[in-house]
């Protein structure tokens, strides 16, 4: 299965991906945990460039194109080969993040983003997407505890509210793929919900 974790800043995606990976490995499954932007040397270089606010004001479409270039490389050289070998792939962010951040958050035409998706990946979608939702202020407070602030964490409150609304709109549009979980809950409680969602989805597959 190809599972993705989505949500705003400080939602706990990396924590939940690690907890799920450990649980799946205990079940005897092969698991790869990866992230976006990232997952290949090229994509990690794109991540460093796009997230670093010292690189100046990048236009929203420039950001989207950079994320999609990194994503295609990630898919072709990391995700698809792992899935072909029967490995479960858990990815911290994927295409939904570009739609939420650059589309809902920054105003790029969502039809243009859909066209980029078709051009790069055709009909490829994750098997299951877990969207961790929590109030903006709580998420940003968590993000600030990490220290250095990246390009998106530094954006204004309105951007983050649009971002949150965007993820929830994505979930409403694809309820068979997306499950919204309370990211403000304790990590162990969120993990229990993640496991329940994964088990339910695997049972339908």
Per-residue pLDDT at 190 exceeds 80: yes
Mean pLDDT for 9-36 is 96
Please give the DSSP secondary-structure letter assigned to residue 27. T
Quick check: 170 and 105 in contact, CB under 8 A? no
The confidence score (pLDDT) of residue 66 equals 97
Percent of the chain scoring above 70 in pLDDT: 99
CA neighbours closer than 13 Å in the CB half-sphere of residue 120: 22
Report the alpha-carbon distance of residue 169 to residue 104 in Å, rounded: 9
The pLDDT assigned to 205 comes to 62
Count of domains for the chain: 1
> What secondary structure does DSSP assign to 72-122, as a single string?
HHHIIIIIHHHHHTT-EEEEES-HHHHIIIIIIIT---HHHHHHHHHHHHT
Q: List the domain range (segments joined by +) for residue 77.
A: 2-204
Assess whether pLDDT exceeds 90 at residue 152: no
Output the CA–CA distances (angstroms, integers) from residue 43 to 20, 69, 77, 155, 165, in the order listed. Answer: 24, 8, 10, 23, 27
C-alpha gyration radius of the chain: 16
Gap between the Cα atoms of 184 and 12, Å rounded: 9
What are 94-145's pLDDT values in tens digits?
999 999 999 999 999 999 999 999 999 999 999 999 999 999 989 888 888 8
- Residue 95 confidence (pLDDT): 98
CATH of residue 185's domain is 3.40.50.300
User: pTM score, two decimals?
Assistant: 0.93
Taking the alpha carbons of 163, 169, 175, 180 in that order, is the dihedral positive or negative? positive
Residue pLDDT, tens place only, 39-52: 999 999 999 999 98
Tokens of 120: 């790069």
DSSP 36: S
SS3 39: coil
pLDDT at 24 over 80: yes
Contact 71, 95 (CB under 8 A): yes
């Amino acid at each position: 299965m190809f599972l993705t974790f989505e949500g705003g800043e400080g939602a706990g995606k990396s924590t939940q991906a690690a907890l799920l990976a450990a649980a799946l490995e205990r079940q005897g499954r092969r698991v790869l945990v990866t992230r976006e932007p990232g997952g290949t040397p090229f994509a990690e270089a794109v991540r460093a460039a796009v997230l670093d606010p010292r690189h100046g004001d990048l236009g929203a479409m420039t950001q989207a194109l950079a994320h999609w270039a990194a994503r295609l490389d990630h898919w072709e050289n990391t995700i698809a080969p792992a899935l072909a070998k029967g490995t479960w792939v858990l990815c911290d962010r994927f295409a939904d993040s570009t739609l939420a951040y650059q589309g809902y958050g920054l105003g790029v035409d969502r039809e243009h983003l859909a066209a980029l998706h078709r051009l790069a990946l055709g009909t490829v979608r994750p098997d299951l997407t877990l969207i961790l939702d929590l109030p903006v202020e709580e998420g940003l407070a968590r993000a600030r505890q990490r220290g250095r602030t990246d390009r998106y964490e530094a954006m204004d409150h309105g951007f983050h509210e649009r971002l949150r609304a965007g993820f929830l709109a994505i979930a409403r549009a694809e309820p068979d793929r997306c499950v919204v979980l309370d990211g403000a809950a304790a990590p162990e409680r969120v993990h229990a919900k993640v496991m329940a969602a994964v088990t339910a989805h695997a049972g339908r597959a």
